[in-house]
Amino acid sequence: MTFFNTIDETPEELAESQAKAKTQGEKILDCFYSCDEPLSPSMVLARSELNCPITSIRRAMTNLSTEGQLQKTNDYVKGIYGKREHLWALPPDGEQSESYTQSSLEFSKASASSGLSR
């Protein structure tokens, strides 16, 4: 599991954060194995008893998909904020799924000139 060091942590802090991220991923996978059904990020947050923001769950699930340990389905459920969320599942019969790549928006001069920034 990956921790993205966007906050310039010290090497000691980074090691701790990476260990926590790995633990999150393991707990999320355990949730899928114990439930044996597709789950949304909100469902994982409720069932895993992780004490973290839902964005951390989503990040971890995306990373697990990139690693081939989960796969995003085309099915939706209503999430904790009332919006649709995709369901995610373990690959069939323990096979690794194809890597999932999140699409990104292309940078254009129009968005740069409109004052949008990251």
Task: State the average pLDDT over residues 34-49.
Answer: 91
Q: Confirm whether pTM is higher than 0.75.
A: no
User: How crowded is the C-beta side of 62, counted as CA atoms within 13 Å?
Assistant: 11
Q: Measured between alpha carbons, how far is 110 from 116 in angstroms, rounded to an integer?
A: 9
Gyration radius of the chain over CA positions:
16
pLDDT in tens, 45-96: 999 888 889 999 999 999 899 989 999 999 999 998 899 999 999 998 745 5
DSSP string, 85-100: EEEEEPPGGGPPPPPP
SS3 83: coil
User: How crowded is the C-beta side of 80, counted as CA atoms within 13 Å?
Assistant: 12
Contacts of 6 (CB under 8 A, 6+ apart): none
Q: Measured between alpha carbons, how far is 115 from 93 in angstroms, rounded to an integer?
A: 48
